[in-house]
Amino acid sequence: MRLTDTTDPSAHAGMRTLVSDAGAARETGLAEKFRIHLLGMYFARIGPEWSSGGKLQGDYLHHVDISLSGHRQVVCGRQVHDLAPGQIWFLPGNTPVERRCDEPCEVLFFKFNCEWLAGVDPLLDWPGRAPRLAATCDVPEWRTWIDPKRSIGVADLLGIRGRLLAWLAHAVPELDEVVSRHLASHTQFTRVFDLIERELGADLRLKSLAGAYGTSIEAFSMAFARGTGMSPKDYLTRRLNQEALQLVINTDLRMKEVAEKLRFADEFYFSRFFKRLNGCSPSAYRSSLRGG
């Protein structure tokens, strides 16, 4: 079918350009590459067992919490944040917090990660990361999402993704600066990140990454740590755990199959790796998110 614009030019009389690729090429380029990967949407009835007992705890996944009833608190640094009904909070990953809860609560929450470069989440190392109020909401509207009779389709998921982006933009107004800083420090390792995404597995070695960078292992490790703020080994561990979480949460693969897919020597080594990073076995983690 031939596409032809037959709009009369007079229809655009008085038009003023606010944003265009020509006038904001850098900004639109950054925005187009920024992605949200939703790992799951969950509902929970919780109480004092949600409290962390004074300990600082967290994980590698970002959370958005919608409080439907009850009052909770999270403590980050010396700041206490009250999570009240009708509030939507962004709880960034890689940010341990103390959790406090003394009463029954209902919460709808999302687990997700972000991406700018392939596999690189700029919000995991953002220096200003902390719990932030993202929005307020109509509680009855969100209660319709927990109706067992409700079916969730493509349009619903697209809407959720759009809301998550809007909430992030509100909670992190300095997102342009965060992504730009990542751009400056990470693009020199684009070939390394590309290799990691192609070959990600427990058997991927620093020698291969250094080869992609074009230097010795020692020189590569120093450059990577200086440019990204973490060692290549720590980054590989984080990235492998992100993929493990995705497979544990969103597939029905047996743990032996997950271990094989990620090229661990066997299921035992995979389970030990997962528990060290996430606090429990992969089977227990999956069970906790599926209500048993």
147-183: pLDDT as tens digits? 988 998 999 999 999 999 999 999 999 988 888 887 7
Going by DSSP bridges, is the β-strand pair 98-101/105-115 parallel, antiparallel, or unpaired? unpaired
Distances (CA, A) of 153 to 28, 65, 98, 145, 160: 28, 21, 35, 12, 11
Would you say residue 92 has pLDDT above 90? yes
**Beta carbons of 62 and 125 less than 8 angstroms apart:** no
Q: What local confidence, expressed as pLDDT, does residue 230 receive?
A: 86
Give 243-253 pLDDT, tens digit per residue: 999 899 889 99
What CATH number labels 34-173? 2.60.120.810
Region 34-47: what's the mean pLDDT? Answer: 91
- In eight-state DSSP terms, residue 91 is E
Q: What local confidence, expressed as pLDDT, does residue 179 receive?
A: 83
CATH number belonging to the domain at 184-289, selected among 3.40.50.300, 1.10.10.60, 1.20.1560.10, 3.30.420.40: 1.10.10.60
The answer to pTM > 0.85 is no
Would you say residue 290 has pLDDT above 80? no
**Where in the chain do CATH 2.60.120.810 domains reside?**
34-173
Region 21-32: what's the mean pLDDT? Answer: 69
Q: What local confidence, expressed as pLDDT, does residue 13 receive?
A: 67
Region 250-275: what's the mean pLDDT? Answer: 94
pLDDT band (50, 70, 90) for residue 190: confident
Distances (CA, A) of 248 to 117, 157, 213: 23, 20, 31
Instruction: Say how far apart CA 25 and CA 29 lie, in whole Å.
Output: 6
Region 253-267: what's the mean pLDDT? Answer: 95
**Where in the chain do CATH 1.10.10.60 domains reside?**
184-289
pLDDT band (50, 70, 90) for residue 201: very high
